[in-house]
Amino acid sequence: MSAATPTEPIAIKALVVDDDPMGVLLLSAFLEGRGYAVENAGDGLEALDRLASGDFNVVITDREMPRMDGVSLCREIRARARNSYVYCIMLTASSDEASLVTAMEAGVDDFLGKPLRPAELGARLHAAERVLALEAGLASRNRRLAEAHAQLSRELDLARSMQLGLLPAPADFGRVRFDWLFEASSYVGGDTLDYFPLGERYLCFYLIDVSGHGVSAAMMAFNAQHQLLGLSQQVGGPMLKQGQDLAATAVAVVTEYNRRFMQMKETSLYLTMVYGLLDTTTWRAALVQAGHPPPLYAQPGSNAFAPVGDGGLPIGVVANAQYDAYCVAMDPGARLILYSDGATECSNARGAAYGEERLLNVVAAQRAMPLADTGDALHRELVGWRNGEAFEDDVTVLALEVR
């Protein structure tokens, strides 16, 4: 059924409120002749009882009545929550401006003078019908919007679940342990991560943060996973087999990914990332930072974490961007933390960001604990920082250590 509009008739159920039986009789007859369903009440209190049990959309009430007058009745109607609008018309013999203003402030929509004149009454009711038709149409559109929003929310929940399902499980590759935290925002976001072996000697790992939110960012994150897996195998793998330097290989993969990204780019979106390669023979890791927060590195036997790298251009900004690799020694006991800015920029109720210093304190406090405890502790901290409110951005952490 189509939504009601000003040109479509709507069913009207009217309540006539007056302590004058003759006035009630005449008014009810006029309304029934117009096709309204009509009931009546002798005063405001009786009218409220009828309104509670009946779906009325028009109330025509006298101003002066025993027990509860018309102004008090209209004020009470407006104070009570209802599913649809009730159009209130007041019968009054007064033309005093202050009296009329008081009635309008109480919620009266229109006035009818006494004695009743059929032509005026018809015109007032026609105005009421237009308003009620507009309200019904708006209510119908709002219902459809609510249904659409509910459907979109279900689809976004499914998309977030699918996004989470694309992430690898925490895993061990020989002496190397990978673990992560991924806390999705209330939107579908663009954070993703992955790690996998390149042959028997090398491990590849990265964390990506696509700008913006929504389906387009999530799709770009999915595409990035696919592209980086392929490039790591097609570009990085052969270079490493040929004995190329670990840092040069990591740079080559990121540079080629940026070149391809710029070729296929059709939106304003871009992404930041940290891409890493780890040699499990020399225990040397090369890290390329592309506009992403710097990884945090702790040497064996030390609780202090220090940032590695100084920036670099994001992917998708400059076609011929140049990148550098930073190398760290991942000897047994070393730990490396990659994170998205959703953690450090997470804001509390006062708008203050969580910040890098607090993040450093958390990872340092968990240095002697199992790797998974780092993500759990940070999650607790950020939930408390947000006071339980949903995150505005994805919070993603990738941690690895050599044992």
- At 30-52, the pLDDT tens digits run 999 989 999 999 999 999 999 98
Q: Average pLDDT of 113-131?
A: 86
Instruction: Work out the burial of residue 161: count CB atoms within 10 Å of its CB; fewer than 13 is exposed, 13-18 middle, 19 or more buried.
Output: exposed
Q: Give the integer Cα–Cα distance in Å for 237 and 256.
A: 14
At residue 341, the pLDDT reads 93
Amino acid 261 reads F
Q: Mind giving me the DSSP string for 238-279?
A: HHHHTT--HHHHHHHHHHHHHHHHHHH--SS--EEEEEEEEE
**Which segment of 113-127, 247-261, 283-297 scores lowest on mean pLDDT?**
113-127
Per-residue tokens: 28: 């009810």
At residue 156, the pLDDT reads 66
Q: Give the integer Cα–Cα distance in Å for 282 and 329.
A: 8
pLDDT-based confidence at 391, cuts 50/70/90? Answer: confident
pLDDT: which is higher, 246 or 92: 246
pLDDT, tens digit (0-9, with 9 covering 90-100), for 53-84: 888 999 999 988 888 999 999 999 999 877 78
Neighbours of 54 (CB within 10 A): 11
Neighbours of 351 (CB within 10 A): 6
CB 295 within 8 A of CB 316: no
CB 279 within 8 A of CB 316: no
Per-residue tokens: 338: 């990659």
CB 402 within 8 A of CB 332: yes
CA torsion 150-156-157-161 (nearest 10°) is 160
CB 284 within 8 A of CB 329: yes
pLDDT: which is higher, 276 or 33: 276
**Which domains are present in the chain?**
13-142 (3.40.50.2300), 166-402 (3.60.40.10)
Rounded to the nearest integer, the mean pLDDT of the chain is 89
Angle 38-44-50 from CA coordinates, rounded to 5°: 45
pLDDT, tens digit (0-9, with 9 covering 90-100), for 175-198: 999 999 998 776 666 889 999 999
pTM: 0.67
Q: Report the chain's terminal Cα–Cα distance, integer Å.
A: 67
Of 187, 185, 157, the residue nearest 391 (C-alpha): 185
At residue 211, the pLDDT reads 86
